[in-house]
Amino acid sequence: SYDVMMGVNNDEGSSVQYELQMRSNEPLADYVGAGNFDKLESLLTDHTAKDLASDVLVYWYGEELAKDSRRMEILVNVVDFFYTQPLDNGTVRFQDVADLLADTSFVVPTVQFSRDLAAAKVLTKTPSPGSLYLYLFNHYPGSKAGREQLNGINHAEDLNYQFDDTVMKERSAFNADDVTIARNFRLFLSNFAKYGRPELMLPGGGRWPEFVAQDEAYLSLELSPRVERHVYSKRVALWTQLIPSIFNSTRPIHPGSTSPPQQLIG
């Protein structure tokens, strides 16, 4: 048996800035980083989210989907509507496009893997099947407020809180909230490594429960950590329920075909 802990950050889709830059002919340094709001926004068009949605759908379902223009249009419009509507004064929000990438690259795969492990634990005959925990790094550093497009924790930025100085940030730049977050993060990671349990006492004396199928509990790591259920539930349901359902229901039926319907995830 194995003890497993998984987590995602609240702004995993930070790579969207690189995706946008690759669609332009300008140097990367002109767009990436703090203070480049206008330049990044200038790369967002009405077609940006649809283009990214199309890329994701082809990645998961294969090139054959790209050849079915009607089916692709239906799926892309659903994804685009879910993430970008209503528009912000007629324009797509940077955060919404980032969430699209975050969900398909990190959030949904992590949740689905957690579900698969939880289901396997129920089926196993091992007396001690191991523990399973999920967390969301849900911190918004004060140093980012008003300075960066994505003011949460970007992909890999949690490493700044797990270790001392990194190539991305020195701990001397932390404020009191960052220090508290880092202390709790290190505490539950080290406890989990030692004991297979995070052993993090929550405000009010509660404890962090394991991830199980019934309620899918996870820890929201913020200044005052708390236990929540079903991380990003609607966003996850889009990719594990609605999109697979639409994909299957719009699949062309060929006479004599016996191949089972495909699913995106789940």
Cα–Cα distance measured from residue 14 to residue 100, given in angstroms and rounded to the nearest whole number? 11
Residue 257, phi then psi, degrees to nearest 5: -75, 135
CA 174/CA 142 separation, integer angstroms: 9
For 212-257, the pLDDT digits (tens) are: 999 999 999 999 999 999 999 999 999 999 999 999 999 887 655 5
Write the pLDDT tens digit of every residue in 55-93.
Answer: 999 998 999 999 999 999 999 999 999 999 998 888 888
Q: Is the pTM of this model over 0.75?
A: yes
pLDDT beyond 70 at 37: no
Amino acid at 88: D
Q: Which of 262, 229, 266 is nearest to 62 (CA)?
A: 262
Instruction: Enter the tokens of residue 265.
Output: 């995830």
pLDDT greater than 50 at residue 266: no
Q: Give the pLDDT confidence of 145-197 residue by residue, as tens digits.
A: 766 677 899 999 999 999 887 666 667 778 999 999 999 999 999 999 999 99
